[in-house]
Amino acid sequence: MARTARECSPSLSTSQGPTERRPHTPNLTKTQPAASVRVPMQTFVASAIQQKSGPDKAANLENTARLVASAVADGARLVVLPELFSWRGRQSEEKANAESVPGPTSEFVSGLAARHGVYIVAGSLLRLDPDSGRCLNCSLLFGPQGDVVAEYDKIHLFDIDIKGKVTVAESSTRSPGTAPVCAQTELGNIGMAVCYDLRFPELFRALSELGAEIIVLPSAFTATTGEAHWEPLIRARAIENQCYVVAADQYGHSQHGFADYGHSMIVDPWGKCMAEAGGDDSEVLCARLDADYLAEVRRELPSLQHKRLVN
């Protein structure tokens, strides 16, 4: 059912309807070297896709294609899908539904990106980790020719137990990633994070130090934690690192027995919400990411240049 996205400040905004953890030490400092020539960020329209994914992969991908087409029709050049957009089922079924990269889902999104000539963050999908035999929660950035521009494995695993509300143990079936990823593109420098990563400011600062101007955040944030923390954490990460944040979330009840929060958001480097979805429907959010405004915020309040403490 169609609905209108709630806008928090002027923007382009539209909607369309319907255990045991292996020890690890993420590398937050020795990451990709800065490019020798910086490409200036462009001003462009970005989109956050909100959807409800289940165990029917074909239906999920059909819905994804429809929502991406809607975003492109509204002028989007960067489209961000939510976490586990192509398959979301029971933890006991994750390994059986994991894919390789390249594989069916990545090839599908590659075709979408090439057909529309846009960048697409393929939310995340589960791929097998040959070292552990578990799954990695992998986010892929595709370029407008359908090529994989960057690949990021979610570093922080969601292991929580809020009595009577939500219990999750991602580490029982998944392995963590180990390094931040920031991709230099013609649109700007795009830092990659997934869902629970949002609670770890050191990761976002590492992305900032790699030159991130836009941070993408595919998510399946629970309703319980989302109601309390989703918006303030997104705004904080945008303010701290003076960057745009494009956060695409799942919504509605999942087979895990709890509801996802929805309320996908696009936030500017001053921390203003440019567009926000509701919590109970598929939506397509679009907002104009202004390169001049980003430069102005960083020039007038140069906090990134005032850092005194370093890792």
DSSP for residue 304: G
Catalytic residue among 8, 154, 243, 283: 154
- Would you give the distance in Å from CA 90 to the centre of its chain? 21
DSSP for residue 253: E
In whole angstroms, give the CA distance from residue 35 to residue 49: 30
Catalytic (active site) residue 95: no
Burial environment of residue 36 by CB neighbours within 10 A (0 to 12, 13 to 18, 19 or more): exposed
Contact between residue 204 and residue 241 where contact means Cβ atoms under 8 Å apart: yes
Catalytic residue among 52, 83, 209, 286: 83
Output the 3-class SS for 263-303.
Answer: CCEEECCCCCEEEECCCCCCEEEEEEECHHHHHHHHHHCCH
Tokens 């494995």 belong to residue: 153
Task: Please list, in sequence order, all residues whose beta carbon lies within 8 angstroms of the beta carbon of residue 81, skipping any fewer than 6 positions away.
Answer: 49, 51, 64, 68, 109, 120, 121, 122, 123, 218, 248
The DSSP secondary structure of 113-159, one letter per residue, reads HHHHT-EEE---EEEE-TTTSSEEEEEEEE-TTS-EEEEEE--S--E
Residue count of the chain, please give it: 311
Catalytic residue among 182, 195, 243, 286: 195
The per-residue b/e assignment along 80-113, b for 16 or more CB within 10 angstroms, e otherwise, is: bbbbbbbbbbeeeebeebbbebeeebbebbbebb
Helix, strand or coil for residue 235?
Answer: helix
Residues forming the active site:
83, 154, 195
